[in-house]
Copies of this chain bind each other. A is one copy, B any other.
Amino acid sequence: MFQHVKQLQFNARVSQPDPRFATLMLEQFGGENGELKAAMQYFTQAFAARRPYPDKYDLLMDIATEEFSHLEIVGATITMLLDGVNGELKDAVQANPVAQFSGSSKAAKEDLIHAALLHPRFLAQTGGTPGVTNSQGVPWTAAYINANGDLSADLRSDIAAESRAKLVYEYLMKFTDDPHVRETLGFLMTREIAHFKMFAAALETIQPNFPPGVLQGDPRYTHAYFNMSNGADVRGPWNEGQGPWGAGESWNYIEHPHEHVMETAGEVEAKPEGTKHSVQEIAKKDKELSRARSQEVKSGSSKGVQQWSDYAH
Contact = CB atoms under 8 A, between A and B. Distances in A.
A198 B238 contact: yes
Contact of A146 (B44, B88, B160, B201): B160
Contact of A139 (B93, B129, B138): B138
Interface residues of A, number: 209
Nearest to A177: B99
B27 A121 contact: yes
A175 B102 contact: yes
B5 A9 contact: no
Interface string A87-121: 11111111110110111110001100101011111
Of the listed residues A15, A33, A66, A210, the one surrounded by the most CB atoms of chain B closer than 10 A to its CB is: A66
Given A103-B110, A134-B121, A174-B92, A307 B143 contact: no
Contacts of A119: 136
A102 B173 CA distance: 12
Of the listed residues A125, A139, A189, A239, the one surrounded by the most CB atoms of chain B closer than 10 A to its CB is: A125
Contact of A262 (B7, B95, B201): B7
A294 B194 contact: no
B218 A103 contact: no
Contact of A164 (B157, B218, B265): B157
B117 A267 contact: no
B262 A305 contact: no
B156 A201 contact: no
Interface string A158-195: 01110110111011111111001001001101110110
Contacts of A133: 142
A271 interface: no
Nearest to A231: B6
A100 to B, nearest CB: 8
A207 interface: no
Contacts of A129: 44, 47-48, 147, 149
A191 B1 CA distance: 15
Interface in A268-313: 268, 283, 286-287, 289-291, 293-294, 296-298, 300-301, 304-311, 313
